[in-house]
């Protein structure tokens, strides 16, 4: 049978995996997993009927892909695709990206459908069963969810495995591994364009693996339970530079902290407050950025943690607000200091909708007394929109890429 779309139909999850396994026994295949990331949010905001429409549209797009040989519905929001052309994983990624971007371009929905997808090259190797490949496909999907683009896992290159090996060597109390460092991206005041803050972002130029994107190694570190070690280093690097921030008139510095860190490292809050006390960081100068979805998963704990941090003079930002599931009720309960609007809001296809969404973000901030920042300003047009919406803080390549601190000292 060829991959003619006429023969493709949606299979159940088990059937999909069984048939994929039969193919795999004969030859190598590509297996893709596609997940609709923000379906719960779409259902909550626009009703289940709208959610159903989205699911149907995504199903159709996947069935119509030229390369689909088998398409399975693993859960209502998670699809599997098997493709019989293992030599071209990039082609499959390109096809899926294209089909999915068409969904957003052609729809008149007042939101973007967010889709994550991972592709694996499943080799015809008797020592590995289908479950091995499903696990790998799930890792690719997880990395894709953070990167915002499709990801290929190719065991012959074995990058994920090598990253796992390197991350397995990290120990609390050690120094960061060679090539791991933090860079800082400016945050500007929207009205004046003046730089008043920074966000610290990790970079890892590994001597053995080359330059690794945090979107790739952070989810693997989270999965392995070592992310708290990296987050501790980020805080040490940042707080030890606080005199430089004062010299640059930087009022606040955001440091990303994974929700997994709070889960695995029960002494984390004590660790941060000790650092802050010993390094001479000003009250309110350090801001911990926590992603919204992560916060919402465990709201009771989150409220207690946020309060504890605030009591110790450490501020808290909800990161990536507007991406994935958003609940106003939860934001109100948490009493955070900052709301960082996700950059995907600026990429909404419809200008009027984009303006309206930014305005909603600004209004929430104003009524809850939370400082609002919009991420991902890339053009003058983006900046104008943010100003028009009345959002006080902005960040993005338009103002500057993340740079080492020496860069700012030299250009002062």
Where do contacts with ligand C2E occur on this chain (CB under 6 A)? 185, 201-202, 213-215, 218, 227, 230-231, 234, 256-258, 289, 319-320, 343, 376-378, 396-397, 402
- What's the CA dihedral at 172, 175, 177, 181 to 10 degrees? 110
Q: In angstroms, rounded to a whole number, what is the distance separating the alpha carbons of residues 338 and 127?
A: 50
- What's the CA dihedral at 92, 96, 97, 99 to 10 degrees? 140
Burial of 319 (0-12, 13-18, 19+ CB in 10 A): buried
The 291-330 site mask, x for binding Ca ion (CB under 5 A), equals ----------------------------xx----------
Which of ligand C2E, Ca ion, none interacts with 396 (beta carbon under 5 to 8 A by kind)?
A: ligand C2E
Strands 70-75, 78-83: parallel, antiparallel or unpaired by DSSP? antiparallel
Residues with Cβ within 8 Å of residue 166, at least 6 apart in sequence: 177, 206, 208, 209
Which of 37, 239, 256, 261 is close enough to bind Ca ion by CB under 5 A? 256
Among positions 261-290, residues that touch Ca ion (CB under 5 A) are 289
CB of 262 to ligand C2E, least distance (A): 11
Of 165 and 397, the one with the shorter C-beta distance to ligand C2E is 397
Q: Which of 57, 78, 56, 80 is nearest to 68 (CA)?
A: 80
Which of ligand C2E, Ca ion, none interacts with 83 (beta carbon under 5 to 8 A by kind)?
A: none
Which of Ca ion, ligand C2E, none interacts with 155 (beta carbon under 5 to 8 A by kind)?
A: none
Residue 81 contacts residue 118 (beta carbons within 8 Å): no
Which of Ca ion, ligand C2E, none interacts with 218 (beta carbon under 5 to 8 A by kind)?
A: ligand C2E
Question: Where does this chain touch Ca ion (CB under 5 A) — which range of 53-61, 120-128, 152-160, 255-263?
Answer: 255-263
- Angle made by CA atoms 299, 255, 169, in degrees to the nearest 5: 95
CB of 375 to Ca ion, least distance (A): 5
Whether the CA torsion 274, 409, 195, 377 is positive or negative: it is negative
Q: Is 337 in the site for Ca ion (CB under 5 A)?
A: no
Residue 289 contacts residue 257 (beta carbons within 8 Å): yes
Residue 299 contacts residue 260 (beta carbons within 8 Å): no
CB of 408 to Ca ion, least distance (A): 19
Of 118 and 254, the one with the shorter C-beta distance to ligand C2E is 254
Helices 227-239, 214-224: crossing angle, 10 deg rounding: 120
Of 81 and 295, the one with the shorter C-beta distance to ligand C2E is 295
CB of 289 to Ca ion, least distance (A): 4
CB of 268 to ligand C2E, least distance (A): 12
Residues contributing to the site for Ca ion (CB under 5 A): 256, 289, 319-320
């Amino acid at each position: 049978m060829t991959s003619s779309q006429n023969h493709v139909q949606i299979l159940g999850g088990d059937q999909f995996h069984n048939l994929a396994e039969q193919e795999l026994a004969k030859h190598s295949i590509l297996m893709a997993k596609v997940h609709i990331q923000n379906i719960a949010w779409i259902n909550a905001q626009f009703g289940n009927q709208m959610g159903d429409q989205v699911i149907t549209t995504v199903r159709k797009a996947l069935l119509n892909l030229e390369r689909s040989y088998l398409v399975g519905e693993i859960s209502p929001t998670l699809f599997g695709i098997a493709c019989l052309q293992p030599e071209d994983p990039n082609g499959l990624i390109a096809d899926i990206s294209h089909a999915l971007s068409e969904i957003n371009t052609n729809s008149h929905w007042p939101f973007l459908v967010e889709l994550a997808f991972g592709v694996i090259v499943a080799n015809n190797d008797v020592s590995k069963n289908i479950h091995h490949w499903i696990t790998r496909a799930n890792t690719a999907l997880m990395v894709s969810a953070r990167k915002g683009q499709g990801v290929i896992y190719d065991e012959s290159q074995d990058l994920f495995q090598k990253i796992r090996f390197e991350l397995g060597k990290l120990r609390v109390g050690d120094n960061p591994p060679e090539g791991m460092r933090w860079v800082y991206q400016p945050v500007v005041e929207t009205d004046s364009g003046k730089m008043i803050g920074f966000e610290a972002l990790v970079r890892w130029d590994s001597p053995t693996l080359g330059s690794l994107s945090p979107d790739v190694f952070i989810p693997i570190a989270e999965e392995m339970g070592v992310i708290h070690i990296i987050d501790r280093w980020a805080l040490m690097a940042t707080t030890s530079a606080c005199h430089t921030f004062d010299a640059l008139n930087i009022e606040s510095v955001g440091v990303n902290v994974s929700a997994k860190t709070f889960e695995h490292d029960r002494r984390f809050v004590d660790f941060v407050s000790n650092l802050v006390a010993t390094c001479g960081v000003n009250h309110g100068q350090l801001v911990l950025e926590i992603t919204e979805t992560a916060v919402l998963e465990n709201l009771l704990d989150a409220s207690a943690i946020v309060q504890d941090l605030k009591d110790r003079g450490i501020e808290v930002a909800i990161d990536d607000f507007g991406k994935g599931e958003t609940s106003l009720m939860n934001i109100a309960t948490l009493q955070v200091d900052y709301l960082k609007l996700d950059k995907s809001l600026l990429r909404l296809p419809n200008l009027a909708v984009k303006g309206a969404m930014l305005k909603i973000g600004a209004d929430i901030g104003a009524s809850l007394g939370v400082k609002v920042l919009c991420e991902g300003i890339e053009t003058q047009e983006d900046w104008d929109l943010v100003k028009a919406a009345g959002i006080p803080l902005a960040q993005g390549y338009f103002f500057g890429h993340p740079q080492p601190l020496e860069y700012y000292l030299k250009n002062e």
